[in-house]
Amino acid sequence: MYKQKMIYFGGDYNPEQWDEETIRKDMELFKKAHVNLVVLPVFGWAKLEPEEGVYDFDWLCRIVDMLWENGIRVLMATPTTAQPAWMSKKYPEVLPVDIKGRKRTHGMRVFFCHNSKKYRERAAALAEEMASRFASHPALAGWHVANEYGTYCYCPTCQAKFREWLKKKYKTPEGLNEAWNLAFWGRQIYSFEEMELPTELNDDYRFYPPIQQDYLKFTTDSVIECFENEYRVLKKYTPDLPVMTNMSGYIKKLDQFELCKHLDVVGWDNYPWPFEDRSLAALKHDIMRGLKQGQSYWVTEQSPNQQNWQPYNVLKRPGEIRRLAYQGLAHGADTALFFQMRQSAAGQEKFHGAMISHAGHENTRIFREMTRMGEELEKLGDRLVGARTRSKVGLIFDWHNWWAVELCSGPSKDLQYLPQVQKYYKAFYEKNIPVDILRYDQDLSGYDLILTPCLYQMRGDLGERIKTYVKNGGTLLTSVFSGIARENDRVILGGYPGGLREVLGIWIEETDALPPHMNNRMRMVKGTGFPEEAYDCSMLYDLIHPEGAETLAVYEREFYAGMPCATVNAYGKGKAYYVGTDPEQSFIDALAERICGEAGLCPPIPAPEGVECTRRDTKDRSFYFIINHRQDPAKVSLPEGLACAFTGEPRQGEQELAAGDVWILEKKNQE
Ligand code: GLA
Ligand code: ZN
């Protein structure tokens, strides 16, 4: 397999928008900034294939040669995200139908049906043309298929394929009726032909959850097929080069664990909102590292400056792009790629930041900041590539559960999966305790602590595996609206939380869901050692009967005042914590503090609040990333044997890290 020889630095470049002279100038600027890789031609299909089967590759070949003459590699994009207008016109089946039943017309990107035969045929033919031309080009570093897949389609082709998909899964209409409990509202079918795609034409806002969930699985499968349609062709020509696609930062729409099984390397586009909590970007990075069980991943896009599509497009503050890019490296990325290299002169994204701005030269703040990074990353060479994160905390993250929680009619419209996960993740992130994101069926045994926030739907034998894990000495922390349903969104009967009742040692009789202005308080039971006596809690309130569990906190108000809302249960050699409401962050932080103490979890290097610290290891080296997110300098006490990974200068003892600054420190480990 291809060995990545450097941290890739560069990003999307759209030379099809520029003349020769500008392109020549760009080469100079790329060299100045130490760019080592560009992604192109993401939107070049219409230029490469002006009419069906007629190809014009000369311009692209010239640019790829020019890049290589300047020592720059290419992550070659099959530009299949935006089919040419002639194709939509000639083969209208290529265009998607939306959830409202509207047949879309040509004009937008990612505006094609994943299941369209014609689309797949033409996309594979284009991939073949590209691969046959560039397979042996020395600049080629890998393939980037399409761009941010994920348009839902409800066209007749998808309708027919969905029926086939259901038939394969459920065999008979009776099997389907049973699995989905279609006796509800008399929806039974007697032939698969009677099954419609879930659109706004046949359903209202209370979409029938199992149909929706299967539609989302079906869409994931369709996208996988669509990706593989090109993957197969590309691999035939370049079996050793990585083939991937860049996933959108908005990650709910496809089961990315499933999709990523089919990619050689995970790629994602990181666009944090300017004012969001920094733990969210960290969580997303960790999710990406989790998608291939800890394998390092690529950040394929991030913005070198403000975006154009946010309501307020805040400039990136001095040092911010470096801090965000290095946060990626800190969590497991092997690239720092940006959208985009040169800012477009027109079009929707003309005001989207770029390394080369409309000014067109290098005398800009952003160009200087990019150049500094380019120089630094060049000095890292390939030493960091493939380094792994070691973690004793695992967090189970499941797309099917995400869909199920948010498709659910009740108990509260405010319940969203990602914010719940983020709260529990944040408590450990702020303490710099590394967290691995785990697939629902991954082995739990190597972890000291497993987090399963809001794990409403328990798939497969997860419930049993959690029991075994705790019995053998593991610690579990789970939270409200967990363990309630199994696959196909069927409630586990016999008392909540069915799937976790035994291990948690509780029975939840009912769950109250109050509007935001009616929140409650949780009072800590004396002697539990929590810093505060009481905390706010909101949204959901389980009415818990302990069945062996110890009560940590009780409600202060409502008719269930005095009933438990947080518990811990000794089970086998381990213990299982439960939080039956949505507490304020400081409670979760205090709980995390207690659990870290019990389980002996510590950060790679102790650091003050607001300073992020992670570690990645290769066979013979450890890399420490220390990121000061604060507005003021921070003191960090460094262990012996560390040196700046860029300059080799030793760094140990008490050191001051400037506001917003990042250190990447390296330590050689004894063989
Ligand atoms: C996405 C796309 C890019 C570009 C950027 C702008 O991630 O993949 O083509 O539109 O957003 O932020
Ligand atoms: Zn379709």
What is the rounded (10 degree) CA torsion for 507, 512, 516, 517? -120
DSSP-derived pairing of the beta strands 449-452 and 393-396: parallel
Q: Which of 230, 301, 376, 430 is catalytic?
A: 301
Cα separation, 239 vs 138, whole angstroms: 15
Closest CA to 418 of 402, 433, 440, 404: 402
Tokens of 604: 């790679």
pLDDT for the residue numbered 670: 77
- pLDDT digit string, tens, across residues 543-576: 999 999 999 999 999 999 999 999 999 999 999 9
Question: Ligand 1 centroid vs 339 CA: distance in angstroms?
Answer: 7
Strands 267-269 and 298-301, sheet pairing: parallel
**Ligand in closest contact with the CA of 223:** 2
d(CA 278, CA 535): 23
CA distances in angstroms from 545 to 286, 444, 554, listed in the order given: 35, 28, 11
Rounded to whole angstroms, how far apart are CA atoms 103 and 83?
16
Same domain for 517 and 583, yes or no, is yes
**Phi/psi at 173 (5° precision):** -55, -35
Mean pLDDT of the chain, nearest integer? 97
Tokens read off for 170: 């459920």
pLDDT at 671 (0 to 100) = 61
442 CA to middle of ligand 2, Å? 33
Please tell me the predicted confidence (pLDDT) of residue 1.
67
Mutational test site, ligand 1, from 307, 349, 350, 355, max ligand atoms within 8 Å of CB: 349
Establish whether 584 is a catalytic residue: no
* Average pLDDT score over residue span 374-394: 98
Looking at the structure, tell me whether residues 460 and 533 fall in a common domain: yes
For residue 579, the 8-state DSSP code is E
Q: How many CB atoms lie within 10 A of CB 668?
A: 11
**Do residues 587 and 600 lie in contact, with contact meaning Cβ atoms separated by under 8 Å?**
no
In the chain, pLDDT over 70 holds for what percent of residues? 99
Judging by beta carbons within 10 Å of its beta carbon (0-12, 13-18, 19+), is residue 345 exposed, middle or buried?
exposed
Q: Coil, helix or strand for 440?
A: coil
**Among the atoms of ligand 1, which is closest to the Cα of residue 246?**
8
User: Among the options 49, 148, 230, 430, which is catalytic?
Assistant: 148
Establish if 216 belongs to a structural domain. no
- Of 599, 632, 658, which closes a domain? 599
> Which residue in 647, 599, 316, 546 sits closest to 431, CA to CA?
599
* Mean pLDDT, range 304-329, rounded to an integer: 97
> At a CB cut-off of 8 Å and minimum separation 6, what does 526 contact?
none
Q: Does the residue 647 lie in any domain?
A: yes
CA of 52 to the centre of ligand 1 (A): 27
| Omega cis (within 30) before 318 | no
SS (H, E, C) 508-554: EEEEEECCHHHCEEEEECCCCCCCCCEEEEEEEEEEEEECCCEEEEE
Q: For residues 374 and 337, give the distance between their C-alpha atoms in angstroms, rounded to a whole number.
A: 11
Is the pLDDT score of 617 beyond 90? Answer: yes
**Do 497 and 574 share a structural domain?**
yes
DSSP-derived 3-state class of residue 183 = coil
Q: pLDDT tens digits for 478-530?
A: 999 999 999 999 999 999 999 899 999 999 999 999 999 999 999 999 988 89
- Ligand 2: centre distance to CA 172 (Å): 24
Closest C-alpha residue for ligand 1 atom 5: 339
| Shared-domain flag, residues 418 and 314 | no
pLDDT given for residue 206 in this prediction: 65
Token representation of residue 467: 């029991």
Q: Tell me if residue 291 falls in helix, strand or coil.
A: helix
Q: Among positive and negative, which fits the CA dihedral 287, 291, 295, 297?
A: negative
**Residue with the nearest Cα to atom 3 of ligand 1?**
339
Which amino acid, one-letter code, is at 473? G
Bridge partner list, 394: 436, 450
475 inside domain:
yes
Same domain, 455 and 428: yes
63-112 pLDDT, tens digit per residue, is: 999 999 999 999 999 999 999 999 999 999 999 999 999 999 999 999 99
**Which of 432, 316, 330 is CA-nearest to residue 662?**
330
**How far, CA to CA in Å, does 37 sit from each of 30, 143, 383?**
9, 12, 18
What is the residue range of 484's domain? 393-599
Atom of ligand 1 nearest to the CA of 248: 7
Total structural domains within the chain: 3
| 14, 268, 301, 355, best to mutate for ligand 1 pocket (most atoms within 8 Å of CB) | 301
Comparing C-alpha atoms, which of 398, 449, 419 is closest to residue 540? Answer: 419
Tell which one of 148, 253, 308, 343 to mutate to probe ligand 1, the residue whose CB is within 8 A of the most ligand atoms.
Answer: 148
Ligand 1 centroid–CA 350 distance in Å is 12
The pair phi, psi for residue 501, each rounded to 5°, is -60, -45
Omega of the bond prior to 585 within 30 degrees of 0, cis? no
Residues 375 and 429 in one domain: no
Q: What is the CATH number of the domain that holds 638?
A: 2.60.40.1180
157, part of any domain:
no
Ligand 1 atom with minimal separation from the 307 CA: 12
pLDDT in tens, 241-270: 999 999 997 789 999 999 999 999 999 999
- In this structure, the residues whose C-beta lies within 6 A of any atom of ligand 1 are 147-148, 269, 271, 301, 303, 307, 339, 349, 352
Contact status, residue 579 vs residue 591, Cβ threshold 8 Å? yes
Three-class SS state of 292 = coil
Say how many Å lie between the CA of residue 363 and the centre of ligand 2: 48
Q: Which ligand is nearest to the CA of 162?
A: 2
Ligand closest to the CA atom of residue 247: 1
Q: What is the mean pLDDT of residues 407-421?
A: 95
From 542, 568, 599, give the residue that closes a domain.
599
- Taking only the tens place, the pLDDT of each residue in 446-475 is 999 999 999 999 999 999 999 999 999 999
Q: What is the pLDDT of residue 529?
A: 86
Query: Percent of the chain beyond pLDDT 90?
Result: 96
Query: Which residues are within 8 A (CB) of 92 and not within 5 positions of it... i.e. 6 or more apart?
Result: 103
In this structure, the answer to whether residues 342 and 453 fall within a common structural domain is: no
- Cα gap 45→84, rounded to integer Å: 6
> Which stretches of 320-455 are DSSP H helices?
320-331, 365-380, 399-407, 417-429
Q: Answer yes or no: do 618 and 593 share one domain.
A: no
Residue 221 lies inside a defined structural domain of this protein: no
Q: Report which bound ligand comes closest to the CA of 351.
A: 1
* Average pLDDT for 316-344: 98
Q: What is the pTM of this model?
A: 0.98
Domain boundary among 554, 578, 599: 599
Q: Which sign, positive or negative, has the C-alpha torsion 11, 15, 18, 19?
A: positive
Report residue 231 as tokens: 């993957």
Find the DSSP H helices in 18-155: 20-33, 45-48, 58-69, 85-90, 117-134
Mean per-residue pLDDT for 146-169?
Answer: 97
Residues 480 and 543 in one domain: yes
Is residue 165 included in any domain, yes or no?
no
Question: What is the Cα–Cα distance from 158 to 115, expressed in whole angstroms?
Answer: 6
Say whether both 368 and 452 belong to one domain. no
Q: Is residue 363 part of a domain?
A: yes
Q: Which residues surround ligand 2, an ion (CB under 5 A)?
A: 113, 115, 153, 155, 157-158
Nearest CA owner, ligand 1 atom 10: 349
The string of pLDDT tens digits covering residues 191-244 is: 999 999 999 988 876 678 999 999 999 999 999 999 999 999 999 999 999 999
163 CA distance to ligand 2 middle (Å): 13
Q: Point out the ligand 1 atom lying closest to the alpha carbon of residue 43.
A: 9
Residue for token pair 């250190």: 663
SS3 14: coil
In a domain, 195, yes or no: no
Question: Which of 429, 446, 569 lies closest to 497, judged by CA?
Answer: 569
**Residue pLDDT, tens place only, 36-48:** 999 999 999 999 9
In terms of domains, do 308 and 424 share one? no
- CA separation for the pair 149, 139 (Å, rounded): 26
Q: In what order do the strands lie in the sheet with 8-12?
A: 243-244, 140-145, 73-78, 37-40, 8-12, 335-338
Known catalytic residue at 52: no
CATH number for position 473: 3.40.50.880
| Domain CATH number, residue 302 | 3.20.20.80
Alpha-carbon gap, residue 421 to 287, rounded angstroms:
11
pLDDT at 242: 98
**Ligand at shortest distance from the CA of 153:** 2
Separation of 472 CA from ligand 2 center, angstroms? 48
- The dihedral built from the CA positions of residue 258, 261, 264 and 266, taken in this order, carries a sign that is positive
Q: Would you mind telling me the total number of residues written for the chain in this entry? A: 671
Q: Is the pLDDT of residue 398 over 70?
A: yes
The reply to whether 284 and 356 lie within a common domain is yes
State how far the Cα of 180 lies from the Cα of 178, in Å rounded to an integer. Answer: 6
